[in-house]
Amino acid sequence: MKTKISVFFCVWILASWTRADVKQTYTQYCTVCHGAKGQGGLGASFIDNEWKYGSSDEELAGIIKNGMPQLGMQAFGHTLSDEQIQALVVYIRELNTAANKPKAPEIKAGISHTQHQKYRRDVVLHNDQKMWGISFLPEGRKIITEIDGPVKIIEADGTLGPAIQGTPAVVRKGQGGMLDVAVHPDYESNGWIYLAFAEGNQNQSMTSVVRGRVKQNIWVDQELIFKAKEKFYRGSSHHFGTRIIFQDGYVFFSIGDRGASDQAQDLNRPTGKIHRVHEDGRIPEDNPFVTNSDTPSIWSYGHRNPQALVLRPGSQEIWSTEHGPRGGDELNLIRKGLNYGWPEVTFGIHYNGKPITAHTQLPGMEAPVMHWTPSIATCGMAFVDGEHYPGWAGDLLVGGLKAQVIERLRIGQHGIVEREVIMKDQGRIRDIKSSPDGMIYVILESTGSQLVRLVPVS
């Protein structure tokens, strides 16, 4: 919180505000100088992007805590807790974003004009049901999941086939259902298809992973890849994760914290983790917690709800995005055995405006490569690979459900060096995938869903 001119008086409240709603706190202490919408007045504007005294979360929190006596701004460190101060930083971010919403690319005659690349959206499929995941079969066919349970094949001509018979029963509750699908990289020789889904019953459920084959539209040869111990099943209906990727003979998949945030730090529990197993479900002997965990498949921990997981082409890097609470969606570079902090550190606050923690970073916990505050509700992600989109070559495309955006991120040696919204307000972005030939496909979700292909235009 910075100020342009001097002194103002705020009402001091002696009672504890530890659980106060952040809007109430802002109204009490900040509105008189900075305006109800952050527009400024006696103090600086939070929405003009003129961050004269620092714009990072740490810098803003420091100004609120320590004040700026030379400008007549008092210190609030004795009035507000560190948690409240961090919540105010989130609220300031929200005010700034509300006043500076990212612009959609200009669309002329059906062609979107982005900074480096023009494209048009071709609708491959309209579906009355909500699709969740997509993967690619030979000869231009695709396989998709629907949240209510069916798994279906889209033929090369765009025809949606009937539900594959015999796929696993799912728990359709809240965010649970049939989730991701992933075709094995050597599918043409082994025929394996992997499914991740909510398994159990309406009272207790957990994310599970199986693999099987499809013969004459029937699911056969099913094998269990991952199933948690039933003592870890939960009754909540959210934060199942999940995405599946393959790397060097291993399968990686994510499971959210299922609404029990503290479990993300518990190395015995599967929740709030990214997992690694052999392609047949066996536990690798070199997993980081294989000898001291009740869930030896854990690869990394401290995650809230990762709904994107991708390999960076030409490297061994695994990247993930995960939903934050109110603020604090994260982009993470996933490494063996590391703790990504949730809920001990976060850039977000509770949905009701209550603080979670004062910490955005702590020793022994990995900081995100970047975060979104306010949240865009990250979901679906793909690296641009191949020659179809020369203006986006090597860039990362990240989808947002709530914000209905696709952001393009250019990754440099020390982080993100360029950001751009390349799609906006076309629907909730459920999944983004790069096909074997390098074309980008997007699942857009509204009442039903659409599968669209981004076709480059010269």
Q: How confident is the model at residue 303 (pLDDT cuts 50, 70, 90)?
A: very high
Asked if pLDDT for residue 1 goes beyond 70, the answer is no
Q: Answer whether 125's CB lies under 8 Å from 154's CB.
A: yes
Q: What is the mean pLDDT of residues 70-98?
A: 93
Q: Is 239 a catalytic residue?
A: yes
Instruction: Give domain limits for the chain.
Output: 22-99, 106-457
**What's the CATH superfamily of 106-457?**
TolB, C-terminal domain (2.120.10.30)
Q: Which of 239, 323, 371, 388 is catalytic?
A: 239
CA 132, CA 335: separation in Å to the nearest integer? 26
Residue 77, token pair as written in the block:
């460190």
Count Cα neighbours of 103 within 13 Å in the Cβ-side half-sphere.
Answer: 7
* 30 within 8 A of 88, measured Cβ to Cβ: yes
Query: In percent, how much of the chain has pLDDT > 90?
Result: 91
Mean pLDDT across the stretch 412-441? 97
106-457 has the same fold as 22-99: no
- Tens of pLDDT along 384-421? 998 999 999 999 999 999 999 999 999 999 999 999 99
The DSSP symbol for 100 reads S
pLDDT at 289: 98
Interior angle at CA 177, CA 176 and CA 181, nearest 5: 120
Is pTM beyond 0.85? Reply is yes
Residues facing 455 on adjacent strands: 120
CA–CA gap between residue 258 and residue 323 (Å, rounded):
12
**Which fold would CATH assign to domain 22-99?**
Cytochrome Bc1 Complex; Chain D, domain 2 (1.10.760)
10 confidence band (pLDDT: 50, 70, 90): very low
Q: Is 406:442 a contact under the CB 8 Å cutoff?
A: yes
* Rounded distance between C-alpha atoms, residue 187 and residue 5, angstroms: 66
Could you tell me the sign of the dihedral formed by the alpha carbons of 369, 185, 214, 270, in that order? negative
Tens digits of residue pLDDT in 195-249:
999 999 999 999 999 999 999 999 999 999 999 999 999 999 999 999 999 999 9
**How far apart (Å, rounded) are the C-alpha atoms in residues 457 and 18?**
54
Q: Do residues 353 and 28 lie in contact, with contact meaning Cβ atoms separated by under 8 Å?
A: no
Range with the lowest mean pLDDT among 6-10, 177-181, 264-268, 424-428?
Answer: 6-10
Are the beta carbons of 254 and 242 closer than 8 angstroms? yes
Task: Please choose, from the candidates 13, 136, 45, the residue with its C-alpha nearest in 3D space to the C-alpha of residue 435.
Answer: 136
**Residue 440, CA distances (Å) to 81, 219, 281, 393 in order:** 46, 27, 30, 12
User: How many angstroms separate the CA atoms of 123 and 134, rounded?
Assistant: 15
Q: What average pLDDT does range 97-109 have in this prediction?
A: 93
